Structure 1
Amino acid sequence: MSASLAPECNEVKERYDTCFLKWYSEKYLRGADKDNQECAALFKEYQKCLGVALKQKGIDKLLDDAREDNKENDMRLNIPNNKK
């Protein structure tokens, strides 16, 4: 599996990846479970770790700026088909 963008998050990312791949291959692909709640806590833990790391590196501001720059495109692309 690939390393996290933030090395300090590698362990939790590896745990999440392992959980996700097990769920995906053993449940989702077999049609048994469409909602991956069993890995949700690990995903939130990884998101939290990554969020802290991105903030420390100033990357969160770059992401916010990119989102703001593309807000109009996002709104345009999220309009339901019947309202275009």
Structure 2
Amino acid sequence: MNSIGEECTELKREYDACFNAWFSDKFLKGKYKNDPCAGIFQKYQACVKQAIRDKGINLDEIEKPVLGTSNEQQTPANTTGTSV
């Protein structure tokens, strides 16, 4: 599967390959203290965020800190399942 931004697809493939190797060769064997893919992930994440911005999508809501704040376990506003 390609990335949201074509310019990010190669970074996505590189990260996917790194993650899959780490997951099967290390994590599943209990060796998960180091994440060798973190640098690749950061580059890929930055590329994806820029591609999203380039499409005119505002990232403010998804970048808002939630974990460890009073918003962490709040119920979404529309939980009735009805469409608005």
Let me know the Cα RMSD of the aligned residues. 2.3
1:33-67 deviation per Cα after TM superposition (whole angstroms, max 9, x unaligned)? 2442x1000000001111111111111x1x43577
- From the superposition, tell whether residues 77 and 11 of structure 1 become closer, same or farther in structure 2 (CA, over 3 Å): same
Structure 1 gaps of 5+ residues are: 69-73, 79-84
How much has 1:5 moved relative to structure 2?
1.3
1:3 aligned partner: 2
1:2-56 deviation per Cα after TM superposition (whole angstroms, max 9, x unaligned)? 21111110000000000000000000001122442x1000000001111111111
TM-score normalised by length of structure 2:
0.69
Structure 2 gaps of 5+ residues are: 65-69, 75-84
- Quote the sequence identity (%): 39
Q: Which of residues 26, 41, 44 is equivalent to 1:43? A: 41
1:71 aligned partner: none
Q: Tell me, what secondary structure is at the counterpart of 1:47? A: helix
TM-score normalised by length of structure 1:
0.69
From the two aligned structures, give the one with the greater helix fraction: 1
In the alignment, the residues of structure 1 paired with residue 4 and residue 63 of structure 2 have an alpha-carbon distance, to the nearest angstrom, of 19
In the alignment, the residues of structure 2 paired with residue 67 and residue 48 of structure 1 have an alpha-carbon distance, to the nearest angstrom, of 12
- From the superposition, tell whether residues 17 and 56 of structure 1 become closer, same or farther in structure 2 (CA, over 3 Å): same
